[in-house]
Structure 1
C-alpha cells in the first residue's frame, strides 16, 4: 500500500521533477548574468545572452559618397566605398528604413532615374550613373550584418579598477563577517538556555522570540538609529553590526532552539550525572552536535547581510569610503543606466562570494532545516 513504511510513494517522480525545475529556474538567470558580463554594450542591446554563442544580426545604415567622390570609368560616373567595418558579413541591404533587408548581397537595383546601386557581401558598394549625380549628400544604404560571437574581459577590468568596487568589497566583508558571527554566538547561548535550562518565564521568552519573527525590520530602523546616536555609536561599523545582530537574532534563536531541544536527552542527562556544568555541556556536547543548525543560520545570515542595502544605508552611510557593494551597484544603476554590461559584471562579482559560501555549506543547510522542523518540545 502507498504511504506505508518501506514503500515509495508514487509521487516521487513529481517531487524529482519539481526539484529539477526549481534548480533550472534558479540557474538560468545566473548563467545569463554570467554570460552578459563578458559581452559589450552593442551585443547586449542587440540580442539576448542566449544568442551570444552564435553569430547575431545587427542593423544599421551608412551613406554613399557625394559628387566629390565620383569618378568616370568607361563613360559612367562611379562612386565606390564600403558600408561595413572589420570582418562583418552583409546578409541583406535596402534603401529605405521600412525595408532595410529588401535586397540580397550582390543584387543590383535602380534607386533613381539611371542610378544603379550594387552592394556586395563584403559590404563594398558601387553606385553608377550615365550623368553627373548632382548630390551634395550621399544616399542612405541600410544594412543587416552578421556579427560573430565576441567575449571580452574588459568589463571586469573596468569594474575592478575604475568603479570603486574593490573598496566596497572590503567594506562588505567588514560588515558581513562580524554580523554573521556575533548573532550566532549570542543565539547559541540563548537557544541552549531555552531548550535545556529550566527557569521562570522560559515559555514566555520562547513565545516572544516567535513573535519577533513577524516584525518587519523597517518599522524599527529609525528608533534604533536614534538610540545609536543617543548612546554615541552613531553611524559606523559597530552600529551596523549591532543592527544586523538584532534583526537576525529571532530567527537564529528559533532555529537553534528547535534543533537543540531534539538532541538526545540521555547524553545530556548522563553528562550532568557525571558532574558536568551547563557551560561544559554546552561547549563539549551541544555545540558539536548542533553544527548543522549553526551552519544553516550562518548561510542565511551571510547571504542576507551581504545583499543588504537598506540597513547599510541607514546605519553606515553613503560616502565613497563607507559604501558596500550593493550601494555601489545602486550608484552604477543611477548614473550609468545604459551601461548594462557594467551592471551585469558588477552584479556577478557581488554574488560570487555568496555562491561560494552557499555551495560549500549547502549540505549543512538541508540537515539543519529538516532537523529543526521535525523536532521540538
Structure 2
C-alpha cells in the first residue's frame, strides 16, 4: 500500500503540479525584481506586469542610487557582522554540546536533553524585555555583539536538538573502535563525528543564517541606528502611501540575493541534513 502511494506521488501528474506551485510562488519574486528595475514614476502609475509591453522602462538607476547610499551599505555590512558570527558560534557551540549529550555519559544527561527540547517551544517575544535589561546592565544593549548574543542564545536549542539527533544515529561500534585505538574525545569529535555529520551541520548553518539574515524583530529591539541590519534600514525607508517602491524593491532584492546564494550553494547538504534519521 505504501509503495503504491509513493509511486503515485512520484508520477508525472504530481511533478507537473509541483512545478506549477513553484511557478506561482515565484511570481512575487519576479514582481519584486521588475519593480526594482522600474523608475518611481512607473511604479506609481502602473503595475510591474506592464513591463511585458514596455520593456524600455527597465533601468539600473535604482540600484546605482542604492549603492550610493551609505546608510544602506552600512546596514548591509552590519547584517554580515551579525549573521556570520551568529551562525558560526551556534554551529560550533551546538556541535560540542550535541556530541556531549549524544556520546558522553554524565549524571543528568537525559534531564539536560529534555531541557534543551523544552526550550524549543519558548517564543522569542517572551525574552525580549528580560534580555534587553540584561544586555543593558552589561553595556551591550544597542550594539552588534548584543544582537549576536541574543541570536546565539535562541539558536542554541535547535542546534543541539538537530545535531544530537544526527550524532546519535552514528554506529556505536565506530566510536568505540576509535576510543580503543587511543583517540581522545576531542580528536574523535573533530576527525570522525563532524565529517560524517557534515550534511546536518550544513543544514543547521543554513537554517541559522537565513533566520538571522531575515530577522527584523530582534534587530528592532536590540540594535541602535549604527548597528541596525538591512531589514531595519528598509523599514525606515517606508513612507506614506508607499511612494518609494523603487527604493524598497531594490533594497529588498539585494538583501534577498545573499540568502538565495547560500541556500542554493548548500541545497544538497541541506536536504540530506533535514532528512537525516528519517529512514532506516
The residue that corresponds to 1:16 in the other structure is 15
2:255 counterpart of 1:350? yes
The residue that corresponds to 1:53 in the other structure is 52
CA separation of 1:163 and 1:298: change in aligned 2, threshold 3 A: same
Alignment of 1:254-269 (within 5 A): 254-269=161-176
Deviation for aligned residue 1:218: 0.7
Given the alignment, which residue of 144, 149, 157 partners 1:242?
A: 149
CA separation of 1:342 and 1:235: change in aligned 2, threshold 3 A: closer
Q: Is the 8 A contact 1:256 1:372 kept in 2?
A: no
CA separation of 1:18 and 1:285: change in aligned 2, threshold 3 A: farther
2:227 counterpart of 1:328? no
Alignment of 1:296-315 (within 5 A): 296-315=203-222
| In 2: Cα distance, 1:29 partner to 1:202 partner | 47
| In 1: Cα distance, 2:139 partner to 2:123 partner | 25
Q: Is the 8 A contact 2:43 2:245 kept in 1?
A: yes
| In 1: Cα distance, 2:147 partner to 2:198 partner | 26
Give RMSD over aligned pairs. Answer: 2.1
Deviation for aligned residue 1:344: 0.8
| In 2: Cα distance, 1:162 partner to 1:12 partner | 49
Judging by fraction of residues, say which structure has more helix: 2
TM-score under structure 2 length normalisation: 0.92
Judging by fraction of residues, say which structure has more strand: 1
Deviation for aligned residue 1:313: 2.1
The answer for unaligned runs of 5 or more in structure 1 is 56-147
The answer for unaligned runs of 5 or more in structure 2 is none
The residue that corresponds to 2:199 in the other structure is 292
2:180 counterpart of 1:273? yes
Quick check: 43-52 or 255-264, which moved more? 43-52
CA separation of 1:280 and 1:151: change in aligned 2, threshold 3 A: same
The residue that corresponds to 2:102 in the other structure is 195
> Number of paired residues?
279
Alignment of 1:18-167 (within 5 A): 18-55=17-54, 149-162=56-69, 164-167=71-74
Structure of larger gyration radius:
1
- Between the two structures, name the one with larger relative contact order (CA 8 Å, sep ≥ 6): 2
Given the alignment, which residue of 220, 237, 243 partners 1:338?
A: 243
Given the alignment, which residue of 161, 177, 182 partners 2:84?
A: 177
| In 1: Cα distance, 2:147 partner to 2:74 partner | 17
TM-score under structure 1 length normalisation: 0.70
| In 2: Cα distance, 1:197 partner to 1:17 partner | 48
